[in-house]
Amino acid sequence: MITGFIFRALDGKIVAAIGILLAAGILVPALNLLVPPDSAFHIPTYAMSLMGKYLCYALLALALDLVWGYCGILSLGHGAFFALGGYAMGMYLMRQIGSRGVYGNPLLPDFMVFLNWQELPWFWYGFDMFPFAMLMVLVVPGLLAFLFGWFAFRSRVNGVYLSIITQAMTYALMLAFFRNDMGFGGNNGLTDYKDILGFSVQADGTRAVLFALSALMLSLCLLIASAIVRSKFGKVLVGVRDAESRVRFLGFRVENIKLFTFVVSAMMAGIAGALFVPQVGIINPGEFAPANSIEVVVWTAVGGRGTLIGPIIGAILVNAGKSFFTGAFPEFWLYALGGLFIAVTLFLPKGIVGTIQHGWNGRKAMKAAADREKGRDDTVLPQAAE
């Protein structure tokens, strides 16, 4: 049954995308580690980390697409789940520093010593164990999504209202994490990591493994998302998006369907955050900023929502553009981003992938029509798929 579930997920495009991702996951680290630095094919470590960062963003955008593109929930707070996953990872990395911190305290991270704390707060316990930390990467965002969704979906808060309260959620979290008393490093966040599972986070080898892991996790999540979308459950999901009341009248528990999708999506966002932190080397409350979450929405919209592959392409393209612009013309990045928001919503509502698909389907339909014309078959034209 599981195999059937997975098998259905694999249509041509998904297979191709996973193939490309896995190939990149092997090729890029290989070009970094095995090719000598003076070769034209060598990929420097910073470039690899940058690409790793894009893959994490792509995973975040994929997570958002699952709820927005297929379930119709526009979450403006997905950055919060991403950041929570990142903080869980950051806490593990902080505990790994041990007595190598500036103050040399074997138990307390530097910022706690600086704030004159005497003992580790209870919620920091267990984060010295990697498996526990990884569990928290999934559980914390998932739990928040569950609680939030439980209340919101049951009382049928939807559409714009839901978007606004998700934004309020991430804003409240940002304010909370900025406080020093919270015990998460306040303004400065968690940084200055030394090693992960005994390997130095700065080393090329570790960076290469992290990149490969990002590619792998992205492929895996893409597979899961695709399996969900293509299952019977996925059909109901699209039904909820397009006609919520009708699905409810047919006897489905709409709130449970939404809740499940929301929680899965939040966990994916958490994984993205956890992979992001060791590659970037810092996590701070700025990641909770509402503007970040809205940017994720744009990546998804640019790539094409409701396509799964689109958001991945969108996230990579927009972020590559951002890296280019902020380096070359820092003044113009916000103009470009703002313009992109407007242009995409006005002229490209289906996004890049959606538009290509639409054109493709349209061409196929025309071709079929031409064939029928030849065969003197005058049945009604099938409508182009949305």
Residues that bind other proteins in the complex, under the rule CB under 8 A: 74, 148, 151-152, 154-157, 159-161, 163-165, 167-169, 171-172, 175-176, 178-179, 290-291, 294, 297-298, 301, 331, 334-335, 337-342, 344-346, 349
> What's the closest the beta carbon of residue 247 comes to other proteins, in angstroms?
17
Give the Å distances, CA to CA, from 210 to 84, 99, 289, 379: 19, 25, 25, 55
> What's the closest the beta carbon of residue 288 comes to other proteins, in angstroms?
12
> What's the closest the beta carbon of residue 306 comes to other proteins, in angstroms?
13
How many CB atoms are located within 10 Å of the residue 243 CB?
13
> What's the closest the beta carbon of residue 175 comes to other proteins, in angstroms?
5
- Of the two residues 166 and 279, which places its CB atom closer to other proteins in the complex? 166
79, 242 contact by CB (below 8 A): no
- Of the two residues 19 and 349, which places its CB atom closer to other proteins in the complex? 349
Opening angle at CA 207, ends 15 and 192, nearest 5: 135
69, 307 contact by CB (below 8 A): yes
> What's the closest the beta carbon of residue 346 comes to other proteins, in angstroms?
6
> What's the closest the beta carbon of residue 336 comes to other proteins, in angstroms?
9
> What's the closest the beta carbon of residue 265 comes to other proteins, in angstroms?
17
> What's the closest the beta carbon of residue 248 comes to other proteins, in angstroms?
15
- Of the two residues 219 and 293, which places its CB atom closer to other proteins in the complex? 293
Q: How many CA atoms lie within 13 A of 97 on its CB side?
A: 21
- Of the two residues 78 and 230, which places its CB atom closer to other proteins in the complex? 78
DSSP string for 3-31: HHHHHHH--HHHHHHHHHHHHHHHHHHHH
Pairing of strands 195-196, 199-200: antiparallel
**Angle formed by the axes of helices 45-71 and 290-303, to 10°?**
80
- Of the two residues 166 and 214, which places its CB atom closer to other proteins in the complex? 166
- Of the two residues 28 and 145, which places its CB atom closer to other proteins in the complex? 145
302, 115 contact by CB (below 8 A): no
Distance CA 263, CA 53 (A): 23
- Of the two residues 35 and 176, which places its CB atom closer to other proteins in the complex? 176
> What's the closest the beta carbon of residue 148 comes to other proteins, in angstroms?
8
- Of the two residues 182 and 216, which places its CB atom closer to other proteins in the complex? 182
- Of the two residues 130 and 178, which places its CB atom closer to other proteins in the complex? 178
- Of the two residues 221 and 315, which places its CB atom closer to other proteins in the complex? 315
The answer for residues whose C-beta is within 8 angstroms of residue 18's C-beta and 6 or more apart is 219, 222, 223
DSSP 121: -
Distance CA 247, CA 252 (A): 6
> What's the closest the beta carbon of residue 313 comes to other proteins, in angstroms?
18
Distance CA 39, CA 62 (A): 35
Q: Where are the alpha helices (DSSP H) in the chain?
A: 2-9, 12-33, 45-71, 78-97, 110-114, 130-154, 159-178, 204-230, 232-242, 244-249, 254-280, 290-303, 309-328, 333-347, 351-374
